[in-house]
Chain A
Amino acid sequence: MASTLAQKIIARAAGRDSVRPGEVVTAQVDLAMIHDSGGPRRVEPILKELGVGLFDASKVVLISDHFVPGDTDEGARILELTRQWARERKVAFHDGEGICHVVLPERGHLKPGMLVVGGDSHSPTGGAFGAYMFGIGATEMAGVLATGEIWLKVPGTILIEWQGRLSPGVLAKDIMLALCGRLGMDGGQYQAVEYTGEAIAALSMQERMTLSNMAAELGGQAGLIAPDATTEAYLESVGGSAGDWLGLVTDPGAELAAHHVFDASTLEPQVAAPHSPANAMPVTQAPETRFEVAYIGACTGAKYEDLKGAASILRGRKLAPGLALKVAPASMRDQQRAADEGIMAVFEEAGAQVLPNACGICAGYGADRLGEDVTCISSTARNFQGRMGASSSKIWLASPLTVAASAITGQIADPREFLNDGEGVA
């Protein structure tokens, strides 16, 4: 039977030769990722109530990111509880090393073909590595931790094909904002979104992660990209391998729920107006909007390459008067690499404030959360009302390049006008 990539992974995890879209199956979970917010403090009381331990501690990864750096009493208490749980339950624990969706692959936990659940809605990020990864709530996570299994309605696949190549100054983030605008926030219909085509094949792993990450904004359950040589090279760099799954693709002729084809070469940088990623439009058509804050942060938009791109635009330039640029590198490792290459120095020279490797403002946490009536342009994934602070604040979403360009002008700017020759374009 011709199968999609999603079907192949789910069939294996369910111990079946093949599965059909719409079937409900019980699958064995290869890995469960939890963080400090939805993790120990929410799952442990349920495990206690059930009177059981972990199904397999070696298949559980805990990452602290939401309440890092623990600068409030509540945050500090939650982090302490998280650390204690990691010791007692003997699970792999990455503490303060960065945002879960970036740390998980970076520390070699993800492999193609895995069925993975994450206690966070941006868990589809793992799909960039060819893993079927999806987000679940804390009660369901407790059930997974207790049993090692989860039910799934085998999804249909929505194939999203991008032909041609992206132009300089246009990033994966622009693809996703454009998709949110065109397909809407339920365009993914809780099916498996799969990205394919020349433009996707040409993208680096970190750019692919941005696509898979924002499958969540499309309402997809997962956001897959078939593992290829780029995937393999990344996995080798973190001590892993794609193994048998290298080259595994959605079979020609497999039944699809939908197939959308787009032209990458004509895509322009995008911004999404408050309060929805679906309010996307090309920068060239955006209304004049002034910003007090520019934020380069989150699993979506502050990975090494995001930082590198933003710095290439900021180098030798000044921030708009009165504008605060805040940069929260997505992981410690990415920040280190950026520092080694002089990228962090560019932010510092521009007068940016560098924040911890954590969710921070993206989750509406910390002293830097947006105040009343503040208008912010942000490299994050979501701009729902009140998400990053006061409910009167307004968030515009854009790529890290567009955020950097806008930080210079103080209003929505086209990053293509700031590209320095030969740099910053991933």
Chain B
Amino acid sequence: MSGRIFLLGDDIDTDQLAPGQYMKGGLDMLAAHCLEAARPDFAGSVKPGDVIVAGKNFGMGSSREQAAEALKHLGLAGVVAKSFAGIFYRNALNLGLPVLVADDISAVEDGDAASLDPAAGELVLEARNRTVRLEPLPDNLKPMLADGGLVPHLKKRFAAERAKEAGE
């Protein structure tokens, strides 16, 4: 799926992604205010398939999962950053939101048309015929992301265990 790029800076924190004052309003409201401090136009204009490209330490701050949930809710194809805060990184993958590290994002410009291929580890900048290489995901996480996150992944695992027990 193809989308457009929102280019952000360093140190985007979880309070910007999921502002505390809207936490009570549910995911719809939270998503509607996602990133409004850094990009007031973000929640209103983001479309499914769009990609965030950011600098270092994306998602720093609290362990609140709503930070990743809000992005997923808005239909983002994923986030590419120079680095991620550890808890956010884990949360995003657990929720099935692709997050990928790129050493060099200098080729990317805000508003570029792009498509993200997590499995291949590529961000293709379509209009400019360029590809940004992404670090491959750790092997243990690929099946989880392919299953859509930790919960569906564990469901599959428990179902397999139950089937095995029943068969014995």
Contact = CB atoms under 8 A, between A and B. Distances in A.
A142 B87 contact: no
Interface in B120-162: 138-141, 149-151, 154-155, 158
B33 to A, nearest CB: 11
A219 B85 contact: yes
A24 B151 contact: no
Interface stretch (B1-9, B17-25, B39-47, B110-118): B17-25
B15 A50 contact: no
Contact of A143 (B19, B61, B150): B150
Given A190-B86, A384-B13, A136 B63 contact: yes
Given A219-B85, A391-B21, A139 B65 contact: yes
A185 to B, nearest CB: 6
B151 A185 contact: no
Given A24-B139, A74-B24, A151-B140, A140 B150 contact: yes
B150 A120 contact: no
Nearest to B95: A139
A391 B38 CA distance: 13
A167 interface: no
Nearest to B85: A219
B91 A219 contact: no
Interface residues of B, number: 36
Given A46-B151, A139-B95, A119 B20 contact: no
B90 to A, nearest CB: 6
Nearest to A119: B63
Given A51-B158, A364-B21, A137 B15 contact: no
Contact of B63 (A49, A121, A142, A153): A121
Nearest to A363: B20
A140 B141 CA distance: 13
Nearest to B68: A137
A46 B138 CA distance: 25
Nearest to B88: A137
B64 interface: yes
A18 B19 CA distance: 42
B15 A24 contact: no
B154 A143 contact: yes
A24 B158 CA distance: 22
A138 interface: yes
A143 B83 CA distance: 25
A26 B144 CA distance: 14
Given A137-B65, A138-B65, A151-B140, A186 B151 contact: no
A387 interface: yes
Interface in A60-118: 74
A386 B85 contact: no
A386 to B, nearest CB: 6
A42 B151 CA distance: 13
Contact of B91 (A24, A26, A140, A153): A140
A185 B11 contact: yes
Contacts of B141: 151
A383 to B, nearest CB: 11
Nearest to B10: A186
Given A74-B24, A185-B11, A387-B20, A382 B154 contact: no
B63 A135 contact: yes
A185 B20 contact: no
A146 interface: yes
Interface string A343-384: 000000000000000000001100000000000000000101
B19 A139 contact: no
Contacts of B20: 363-364, 386-387
Nearest to A220: B86
B56 A186 contact: yes
A140 B15 contact: no
B149 A139 contact: yes
A38 interface: yes
Nearest to A188: B86
A38 B64 contact: yes
A136 B89 CA distance: 10
A137 B87 contact: yes
Interface in B54-95: 56-57, 60-65, 68, 83, 85-87, 89-91, 94-95
A127 to B, nearest CB: 14
A221 interface: yes
Interface string A185-196: 110011000000
Nearest to B151: A46
Contacts of A142: 150-151
10 contacts: A24-B138, A51-B158, A136-B63, A137-B63, A139-B91, A142-B151, A143-B154, A151-B140, A186-B85, A219-B57
Given A185-B57, A186-B57, 19 more contacts: A24-B138, A49-B155, A50-B154, A119-B63, A136-B63, A136-B87, A136-B90, A137-B63, A137-B65, A146-B158, A151-B141, A153-B138, A186-B83, A189-B83, A190-B89, A364-B20, A384-B15, A384-B61, A387-B15
Interface of B: 11, 13, 15, 19-21, 24, 37, 56-57, 60-65, 68, 83, 85-87, 89-91, 94-95, 138-141, 149-151, 154-155, 158
Enumerate the 8 nearest inter-chain pairs by beta-carbon distance, A residue then B residue, closest first. Answer: A190-B86, A137-B91, A186-B57, A137-B65, A121-B63, A139-B94, A384-B15, A135-B63
